[in-house]
Structures are given as structure tokens and as C-alpha cells.
Amino acid sequence: MPVSIKSQQEIEKMRVAGRLTSEVLDYITPFVKAGVTTNKLDQLCHDLIVNVQKAIPAPLNYAPSGHRPYPKSICTSINHQICHGVPSDKVLRNGDIVNLDITVIKDGYHGDSSRMFYIGEPSIQARRLCETTYQALWHGIRAVKPGAYLGDIGYAIQSFVEPMGYSVVREFCGHGIGQKFHEEPQVLHYGKARTGLKLEPGMTFTIEPMINAGKAGIKQLGDGWTIVTKDHSLSAQYEHTILVTDTGFEVLTVSDGCPLPTP
């Protein structure tokens, strides 16, 4: 399937969807603390998206081929959970790290972003993993420009984290995004520079590296969605939706409370 090149009108709609997505993460931040359940976080985000933003939470009932419908409006992945963690009555505790992954549909277009959160005071190892993963995201983003290649993004991320002893999850990747939640191309977080699809202005896709403190091996839990590290090591992820511009890139999932780019 060909990669969609967005028109200016489509890009404007994606800016709106991206901003709303990031604003959900801003809104939920003060609620992400010890004693709260991930179900509560899901409900708060759902109510904001539906009742205030007048938008749609894309994960709810999302059912790609071979999967049962996803039952919640956000993904909450704790500690050794890599991605697609399903909100539950599990209570967040001091020292946990958790990823909240938000995707909002507004006027038919998707915005997709995720952030890591510390519950109380994380361990030095957990904090370092999260900080490195955020830096890795920006290494990938800064590789985006017309004439660059998808492989440049993966290479920038992989060559940054692996010398530190971390591993890159291989089975899940970034993706094209627009009117569909997942479009072409697939954006791997590892690879060789100057390989793969050449980037053109108007392309929109996510970059969302999943970085493990241990080995890259994964397994799926019995709920059919939650992915965890095989060796039970910690995992972290950050995500932005990116537009290829005439001169470089634009991050579409930004808001007043969005974490600043790394230096």
C-alpha cells in the first residue's frame, strides 16, 4: 500500500488531533500518582476526550486482524510492560514507572503520543532508562528531513541506546498515521542508515521507541494485548506524531505541558 502524502488541509486537521492528544497527557499528569488505579486514569482520559474535546479515543474497541477488541480508551504499561497494557484495578505504587499511550480521533484524523511517568521516586536505573528513551526518541526525530531514509531514524535510535547496554524492541514499531490509526510506512527503531523508504514532505508517522533495560525478548500476556519483557526487565517508551516538512520535521503532538526536546 502506498504511503499517504497529506495535503495542507489534512495537515491542519492532524495538528488539531495531535494537540488534543498531547493535552490529554497534560491533563492526566497530576492524577498519575501512588494509590490511583489505571482504570481511574482510563476513565478520566475517556471523559475528557469524549465530553470535553468532543473527540474519539481511538484504542476503544480497536480490533486489528487476529486481535479481540481492545477494551479501554488508553494504554497503561507499567514497569516491565512494554506496550498495550490494559487498564485495570491495579494500583500504582511508589517507585513504579508507567507509560500512558493516548490516541485521539478528531474530525476523522488521528493524533498519537505517549509519555513515561514516575510514581513517587523511581530507582536510579528506572530514571536513567526513561531519560535515555526520551533522548532516543529525539535522536530519531532529528533524523527526519526530506531526502533522508526511514533507516536513518532506526539507526539513530539503535546506535544511541545499544552502547549503553539497552536493547530495542524489534516486534513493534512506529507507523504511518492519518485517517487511519495505522498506515504505511512501518517505522523501525533499529536499522541501517541510508536504507528503506526515502522521506518526502507531507508524510506523517509516529516514532515511538520501546527500550528495554535488559534483553529485547518479549512475550504477550493472556489478555491478548499486554506485551512484557521476557526477562522481566524494565521497559520505557515515548512517542510523538511527526510531519515531514519541506525543510525538516514538525512534531504534531505538542501542547503547553509537553516535555521539552532534549538538548
Q: Residues 187-192: what's their mean pLDDT?
A: 98
**Cβ count within 10 A of residue 97:** 23
The topology under which CATH files domain 8-251 is: Creatine Amidinohydrolase (3.90.230)
Inform me whether the pLDDT recorded for 1 exceeds 80. Answer: no
pLDDT value of position 79? 98
Task: Tell me phi and psi for residue 23, to 5 degrees.
Answer: -65, -30
Inform me whether the pLDDT recorded for 144 exceeds 90. Answer: yes
Omega before 71 within 30 of 0, i.e. cis: no
Tens of pLDDT, residue by residue over 84-99, are 999 999 999 999 999 9
Q: Closest by alpha carbon to 219, among 78, 79, 81, 64?
A: 81
pLDDT value of position 112? 98
106 with 55: CB under 8 angstroms?
yes
Q: Residues 182-201: what's their mean pLDDT?
A: 98
- Confirm whether pTM is higher than 0.95: yes
The three-class DSSP label of residue 200 is coil
Rounded to the nearest angstrom, the gap between the alpha carbon of residue 236 and the centroid of all alpha carbons in its chain is 10
**Cβ count within 10 A of residue 147:** 10
Q: Closest by alpha carbon to 16, among 114, 113, 115, 105?
A: 105
CA neighbours within 13 Å on the CB side: how many for 201? Answer: 6
pLDDT value of position 12? 98
Per-domain boundaries in the chain: 8-251
pLDDT value of position 154? 98
Mean pLDDT of the chain: 97
**Cβ count within 10 A of residue 258:** 17
Roughly what angle, to the nearest 10 degrees, separates helices 38-47 and 8-28?
A: 140
Tens of pLDDT, residue by residue over 177-189, are 999 999 999 999 9
pLDDT value of position 263? 83
> How far apart (Å, rounded) are the C-alpha atoms in residues 263 and 162?
20
Q: Residues 102-124: what's their mean pLDDT?
A: 98
The three-class DSSP label of residue 129 is helix
Name the one residue in this structure whose C-alpha cell is 522521506.
199
Inform me whether the pLDDT recorded for 262 exceeds 90. Answer: no
Name the one residue in this structure whose C-alpha cell is 524489534.
170
Which residues are CB-contacts of 203 (< 8 A; sequence separation ≥ 6)? 3, 4, 5, 6, 176, 185, 243, 244
Task: Give the confidence band of 106 by pLDDT, cuts at 50, 70, 90.
Answer: very high
pLDDT value of position 66? 85
